[in-house]
Amino acid sequence: MPASASTLDFGYPWWLSYGHVIVLAPALALLLIGYLRKWSKWPMLFLGALAIWSSAAFLLVRFGFDVNGRAALPTQSFLRSGTGRVLDLGAGTGRSSIMVLAARPQTTLVALDLFGDSFERHFGPGESPQQRLLRNLAAAGVQQRATIETSDMRKLPFEAASFDAIVSSYAVDHLNREGITQALAEAARVVKPGGEFLLILIANDKWAKFLFGPLLSHGGTRGSAWWNTRVKEAGFQVVEEGTYPATLYLLLRRP
Ligand SMILES: C[S@@+](CC[C@H](N)C(=O)[O-])C[C@H]1O[C@@H](n2cnc3c(N)ncnc32)[C@H](O)[C@@H]1O
């Protein structure tokens, strides 16, 4: 597949980065009108609070969470050896694949995704999803070390113990309960004994509640304890666990 080097475009919808401006702009305009027309204290206080929340949320989403920007490994403990064959479950447009390939330049990686309805829901319709992923891998200069696999993470087309490590970011939490069990069991099957799994999940924490309120639903009902139980049932040990805004990550090892 041809891919020309261009700039990275992870393709998450614009409203994830700029949606709060839709609240901020009218709030500021109404504040100005209210000030000029001398509105009473309560509507002005309400508008002021709305403007403060929406500007803080905009700054956090755009420059803190920055879902359309490059991601950094949440823990340097992942793949400390710096080498090996890695599998990305639900690679999407490549954000998590590039995160690993850039941080661990001696690795190779299989970027696996179903490239179906879920891909289109997140990244919109348009040109071939695989082509979009390939273009981002090329833009990041890592395409020589990556291959793309169109498959379902619930039934992986790989031999047992064929990967040194697995990464999955904001993908396993899109599956239903049965799908999660299947995907974790498959991950445990295809990773080598002693291999690692960096599992990154959306968390409906105080940051997510502050930024998105009730609009963020998926993954939110499942906290750390729930995920710990699931990964242990699949046969993983939890080596490290951590959080950053709207995110829970677990570093797992197959004994
Ligand atoms: C929110 S995106 C995450 C993409 C990328 N990992 C990232 O961090 O930006 C979730 C991805 O999981 C993929 N996905 C959902 N269900 C899947 C399945 N059963 N098998 C493989 N991929 C799946 C979707 O197609 C989508 O690309």
Global pTM exceeds 0.85: yes
Task: Report the pocket of ligand 1 as residue ranges, CB < 6 Å.
Answer: 90-92, 95-96, 113-114, 118-119, 122, 152-154, 169-171, 174
Residue type, 65: F
For residue 40, the CA-to-ligand 1 centroid distance in Å is 49
For residue 209, the CA-to-ligand 1 centroid distance in Å is 23
Looking at ligand 1, which atom is closest to the CA of residue 88?
A: 6
- Determine the pLDDT at residue 82: 95
- Which tokens in the block code for residue 40? 């009473």
- Determine the pLDDT at residue 64: 84
Bridge partner residues of 112 (DSSP)? 89, 149
Looking at ligand 1, which atom is closest to the CA of residue 115?
A: 25
CB 246 within 8 A of CB 207: yes
- Determine the pLDDT at residue 188: 98
Looking at ligand 1, which atom is closest to the CA of residue 117?
A: 25
Q: Which residues of the chain have pLDDT under 50?
A: 1-4
- Determine the pLDDT at residue 16: 86
**Order of all β-strands in the sheet with 146-150:** 146-150, 106-113, 83-89, 163-169, 191-202, 247-253, 237-244
- Determine the pLDDT at residue 218: 58
Residue nearest to atom 13 of ligand 1 (CA): 90
